[in-house]
Every structure is written in structure tokens, then in C-alpha cells.
Copies of this chain bind each other. A is one copy, B any other.
Amino acid sequence: MAANHPPVDRRARRKAATRAKLLEAAQAVFARQGIDATRINEITEEADVGFGSFYNHFESKDAVVAALVEDTVGAIGVAINAATASLDDPAEVVSAAHRTLVRWAAEDPEFGWLLVRLEATHDLATSALRSYAVRDIKRGLDSARFDVVDPDLALAATGGALLGVVKLVLRGHALEDAATRHAAGVLRLLGVPAGEAERVAARPLPAVTVAGRDD
């Protein structure tokens, strides 16, 4: 099939494939042992790629982290954003985002641990999702759906709550109902009355599709 492509394309494709292998390997090693404790040769060994070729793709370990966040968490943010674009209620958008992230972390523990570890040490996980979260909280405040005095504080608290729940689920707490109950808790924290928060969190979850993910 590839034989019809000119060589320049083949080289580009091969380069992209190696980069993808390195990113996948880095994600696996980071999830296993943490970012701080990972050395570049452990990434190249996991990827079955020569040590030197790492530097054809990335300047440093931090560059891998940044690319991983952009590729993984960023893509998820884009996908959730697209799936919730038709929802008028900012509370429902926030609920759908939290429910989707909890579900994905549970169904793909490697992604879940990456989210937890990135956030703790690099604070990059939130930066990729942050612009959406900031916008959603602002929309909720503008429409008086939410009621908080300090949106930055509310963002930090709800993001932290998400990571706490993701960790709980990764450590074996049943996913069943956890995502929905967590979303209701987040809405309460943002000022939605308890009963209403539960009703919004129980609405049908829009299907979210991310390029390169099979769920």
C-alpha cells in the first residue's frame, strides 16, 4: 500500500511513527514510576528505539512531558468541548467533563495515573484543560447558575476533587455511580443546590470521541 508514496513521505511517516512510539513508551514509564524518577534511556528502551534518536524528536524529558500533555489531555479537552458544544446549561457541561474524565481514568489506568502524576509535579494536566474549565465556570457565574466569589479558588478545588476521585477509582473503588456522584459534588461546590446538582449530574452523558482512542 505504502509503495506508491514517494520516499519523502515514507521518511516523514517513519519519523512520526518513532515519535508516537516514544510518546507511548514515555506515558507507560511515567505512569509506572513517576516522571521525576524516569531517565531518557528507560523511555527509549521501552520504545525499542536507539537512545540517540530520542533527540531527533525531543529536546529533553520535559519536552516529552509537554508533548504528552498536549497530545493526550489536550485532545480529550477538545473532544469534550466538541461533545458538549450543543448544551446550553453550563452546569451540565461541567458535569459531563468531570464524568468523562473519571470514566476514562478508570477505563485507561495508564492515562489516569499520568493525569495524577502530571498534576502533582508539573501542573500541566490542568493547563491543557484549564481554558475550558475557566470558560465553563465563567459561563455558570454569568448566568447565575453557579455562585462562587473566587473562580480561581473554585477551579483549584474542583480540579483537586477530580484528581482525588480519579485516584480513588484507580485504587479500586467501584466506578459505578462514582463519576455521577462526583459530578454532583462538584456542582454543589460551585453553588448549585443539592437536589438540582443530582438531577443535572444524572442527565444522559454525551458520547465523547477522541482521535486515537477506541472508546
Contact = CB atoms under 8 A, between A and B. Distances in A.
A156 B167 contact: yes
Interface string A158-181: 111111110110010100011001
A66 interface: no
Taken together, the copies of this chain in the complex come to 2
A99 interface: no
Interface stretch (A32-40, A71-79, A136-144): A32-40
B123 A34 contact: no
Helix, strand, loop or mixed for chain A's interface?
helix
B153 A173 contact: yes
Interface residues of A, number: 42
Interface stretch (A8-16, A113-121, A202-210): A113-121
Nearest to A147: B194
A17 interface: no
A117 B153 CA distance: 20
